[in-house]
Amino acid sequence: MAGRRALVTGASLSIGRSIALGFADHGAAIAIHYSAAADKTFGRPDAVQETLTAVQSRGVRACLVEADLAQDGAGRQVVAGAAAGLGGVDILVVCASVQSRTPFLEVTGDEIQRQFQINFRATVELLQAALPAMKAHGWGRVVTIGSINQARPEPDLAIYAALKS
């Protein structure tokens, strides 16, 4: 992975953090996407700084890209920020997602829209922004993180499961 530049969405916490650290362990420069509001909601307001320190301790370049993927155009902004910080993006890891554990009959339109925006629309924006440069350079990789809910959806995660599928 030496010389490669990876953008990992949702990289301050959980699976995204582990992926970012794994790529850094193998020499890739890392763009750490995060949402300050999400980190705070999870009770980890300093998570991104901890992840940045851990990535840099592996001797690779790193940059931070903060964005709320619920906002229109955020996916494109994340790729632009990563490309500016690393000089390009060779690998895109789509890991950021949101779920709401709510009985199906109680899911509101606003919650459906929020999950759609983050779990689907932002993914399309990320791909549309990252793929042209990968194609122009003749090399690129995309990894999207799925969920067990694709195969065995939980009733209270119906919207999340549908969008992950």
| pLDDT confidence of residue 153 | 86
Q: Which residues is 5 bridged to in the sheet?
A: 29
127-163 pLDDT, tens digit per residue, is: 999 999 999 999 999 999 988 888 888 889 999 999 9
| pLDDT confidence of residue 127 | 98
28-to-19, 97, 163 alpha-carbon distances in Å: 11, 23, 29
| pLDDT confidence of residue 122 | 97
**Which pairing describes strands 141-144 and 62-66: parallel, antiparallel, or unpaired?**
unpaired
Residue 22 binned pLDDT confidence (cut-offs 50, 70, 90): very high
66-113 pLDDT, tens digit per residue, is: 999 999 999 999 999 999 999 999 999 999 999 999 999 999 999 999
Ranges 40-49, 113-122, 150-159: which has the least confidence:
150-159
User: Per-residue pLDDT for 13 more than 90?
Assistant: yes
- Residue-wise DSSP of 33-75: EE-HHHHHHTT-TTHHHHHHHHHHTTT--EEEEE--TTSTTHH
| pLDDT confidence of residue 142 | 98
Helices and strands: H and E segment counts in the chain: 7, 5
